[in-house]
Structure formats: C-alpha cells, structure tokens
Amino acid sequence: MWPATPDRGGALHGVKVVDLTRVLAGPLCTQILSDHGADVIKVEPPAGDDTRRLGPPFDSRGEAAYFGALNRGKRGLSLDLGQPLGREVLARLLEDADVLVENFLPGTMERWGLGYEEVLSRQYPRLVYCAVTGFGADGPLGQLPGYDAVLQAMCGLMSVNGEASQGPTRMGVPVVDHLTGYVALSGILMALNGRHRTGRGQRVEATLFDTAISLLLPHAANWMASGTAPALLGSAHPNIAPYDKFTAADGQVFIGIVNDAQFRRFCSHIAREDIAADARFATNAQRVAHRAELRAWIEPVLHKLPAAALCEDLMRLGVPAGQVNTVPQALGQAHAQHRQLVVERGAYKGIRSPALLHGTPATPGDGPPLFAQHSADILRGLGFTEEEIKTLKSTGAAPPAN
C-alpha cells in the first residue's frame, strides 16, 4: 500500500493547476501533476465530467470506476463558463495559477473571451496554457472532435493490430488518449522549465492526431523504406522473429527474441539445437523471411512445457518471455506488489503514476472529489463573500455539490 501522508510535498509542490478537462487524456495529465505535489483544481461543467457516468462498475459513492482512475488528489469545483459570473470565478483562479489545461473544442475559449493569445497571455503572462484537442485548431480536420478509437482507425493503428483472419482491431486500451495525456504532461513540464529562463509562460498543444501518428513505430519507417504497406501480423513483430505469442501446456506465453545469441540460448533450453543450426534461422533477417517455418518447428515443443516454468527459466537465461496474464493476474504479481503500483486510500484503489523520483517522491492524494465537493472552500479562498457564494450557486454559475 502506498503510504498516506498529510504532507504530500513532491517535485511540483507549490504549482497551482486549473484543470478544465474531462474524460481521459487531460485528467490523466493533471492527475500525474497532482501525484507529484501540484494543487489541482478540477473545474467541471454543471453536467459534470462524462466519466462520472461511464459505468458500471460504480464505487460505493455511486461514481464510475473510470472517473476514479483519473481524478484522485484533486479539489472539485463546478463552473458554468457560459455565464459571466462563472468566468469571473475562473479569472480569480488564474490570478496565481501556473498552469491551465483544457480540452474543449477549438474556439470554445475564444467564444467565451478567454483565448490565450488575445486575452490570457496578456492578463497572465506567466501562465502555461495547455490545449488538448483531437486535431488542433486549423487544417482540414481542425476544430473537429476526436475520440481514441476513431483516431486509432484514421491513423493506421488498427491496420497493424489484429489477426489477418479477423481484420483490423481496436487496441484494448485507449492508447491514443493515454499517450496524449503524457504528451501534454511533457509539454507542460518543458514550458514550466522554459519559464525559469524567460519569465513567461506559453501555449502548449497536444493533439490525439499527432500522438496517434507518432505511434506508428516501426511501421511508418518500414513503409517509407520499402514502399510496402504494413500488414496484420497478430501478435508478431514485422521486423523480428521469433517475437510472438505461443501456446504452452497450460497457458499462453509471449517470447521476444531480438538477437542471435538469445535465439541460440532459447533453442538450447528447449533441447532443439538443430533449429539454431538450420541456415534458414541463422540470423534475424533469415528468421523473419522464414517466420512461418520457424513457428511450425517451435510450437510443438512449447505445447509440452508449463508456461510459468518456461518463462521463468528463459528470463533467467536472458531470453525475454512472459505469461499472457489477465488484469487480475497482472496486478497480483509479486513484482507489481514490490513496485507498490496500487494506490490505496480507504475505499479508493488506483494505479500509481509510473515515474519514480527518489529525491522528491510522489505521494498520490486522496480519492477523486465528488461533484463540486470543494466549491465553498475554493470560493472562500478566492475572496468571495458568503452572499456572493449564494449568488453563484443560485444562478448556476457555480453549482453546489450534489
């Protein structure tokens, strides 16, 4: 269990983040900022973040588990930014903010009179402004909404994922959204570092489209060099063999051999030195050219071997191999527990942010806020009187907690 502590500290202690994002990429980015000590104020629209309702499953408070995975450690506030009073609250939030992150459709902030170039950069010159969008603000697809699976399809990712017999397949995790969150995070941290030198913030842009295209490794490079469009290979690798999923005696395993020495050790371990001695399999290039024949030689041997022992033995020999685990099996691994990958805060459970800083370690905060949970405290901290807070709530400019 990740140790709870009242003093979270962290590398980003003292950094204030105004989080206007919903769903996945933006909230993931700001959750990592929070884990590392930033004060993140999650500002939701009156209808709330969509992921609050993306269930089942729901937690004991009635919130979707999906929402909980992305919003721990944040303070919750709701604002109707379509109202002048809502925008007045946002203006006060930004007076001492270091970072603003939003993932509205391009042009939304401008329609509210909150465009970065025209307004925010002048009023708050030290502000780092991060926009997370599907396609950016201009170009043939500019200002259109973006969704992970749609970008997987449009940007060629589905075309290289799946079995030839079944056709292109969506990846089982929202990999484009996920990586876009890290792109936004990286951009924000670089901009904060740049501010130390220049004294000024800047606009950071992270788009699902750019991120999805960047994932085409090595497939784009292969096509550029060969002129041949990548094909579906199932779990296999286009440039390496054997680098694939196989069936063992009691489960499936993945074996990833990337050099000739590993291949010879593998063949020796399964008592098939004759395979390594065959000229068709002497080098990786030859193994790729004869991948079907190689698989036909390997599979019957692996069918007789227990998966766990096979993988452990191969790994000890320096041959990469792993069982194909379910999600519970993955989280139940002794090494996952050793790495303290599960965050627990009372009834809340989540996955910790993967970066470990040993000098200024992260300490994930409490579970995610209920809708507008901290509104009153935040508004008071901004200097609003009790009467003004009542007005903000009654007009819907700052809706109260449910």
Question: What is the domain partition of the chain in residue ranges?
Answer: 16-215+354-395, 243-332
Sequence-distant (6+) residues with CB within 8 A of 58 are 64, 65
For residue 64, report the phi and psi dihedrals to the nearest 5 degrees.
-65, 140
Which tens digits make up the pLDDT trace of 16-25?
Answer: 999 999 999 9
Is the per-residue pLDDT at 7 higher than 60?
A: no
What is the structure's pLDDT at 3? 34
Q: CA 352 to CA 341: how far, in whole Å?
A: 5
Q: Considering Cα of 184, then 27, then 382, then 37, what sign does the dihedral take?
A: negative
What is the structure's pLDDT at 291? 95
User: In which band, very low, low, confident or very high, does the pLDDT at 4 lie, cut at 50, 70 and 90?
Assistant: very low
For the question of residue 98 being annotated catalytic, the response is no
The 8-class DSSP code of residue 250 comes to S
Q: Hey, which CATH number is domain 16-215+354-395, 2.130.10.10, 3.40.50.720, 3.40.250.10, 3.40.50.10540? A: 3.40.50.10540
What is the structure's pLDDT at 259? 97
Is the per-residue pLDDT at 6 higher than 70?
A: no
User: In which band, very low, low, confident or very high, does the pLDDT at 257 lie, cut at 50, 70 and 90?
Assistant: very high
Which tens digits make up the pLDDT trace of 284-296?
Answer: 999 999 999 999 9
Q: What is the mean pLDDT of residues 326-344?
A: 94
Given 39, 49, 98, 177, the catalytic residue:
177
Sequence-distant (6+) residues with CB within 8 A of 238 are 160, 218, 219, 222, 230, 231, 288
Neighbour tally for 136: CB within 10 Å: 19
What is the structure's pLDDT at 33? 98
Q: What is the mean pLDDT of residues 315-331?
A: 96
Neighbour tally for 321: CB within 10 Å: 22
Answering whether pTM is above 0.75, one says yes
Is the per-residue pLDDT at 1 higher than 60?
A: no
Cβ atoms of 169 and 161 within 8 Å: the answer is: yes
- Average pLDDT score, the chain: 94
User: In which band, very low, low, confident or very high, does the pLDDT at 401 lie, cut at 50, 70 and 90?
Assistant: confident
Portion of the chain with pLDDT greater than 90, in percent? 94
Q: CA 17 to CA 232: how far, in whole Å?
A: 42
Q: Considering Cα of 211, then 213, then 219, then 222, what sign does the dihedral take?
A: negative
CA distances from 186 to 32, 182, 241 (A): 11, 6, 34
Which tens digits make up the pLDDT trace of 74-84?
Answer: 999 999 999 99
Rg of the chain on CA atoms, in Å: 25
What is the structure's pLDDT at 9? 80
CATH of region 243-332:
3.30.1540.10
Portion of the chain with pLDDT greater than 70, in percent? 98
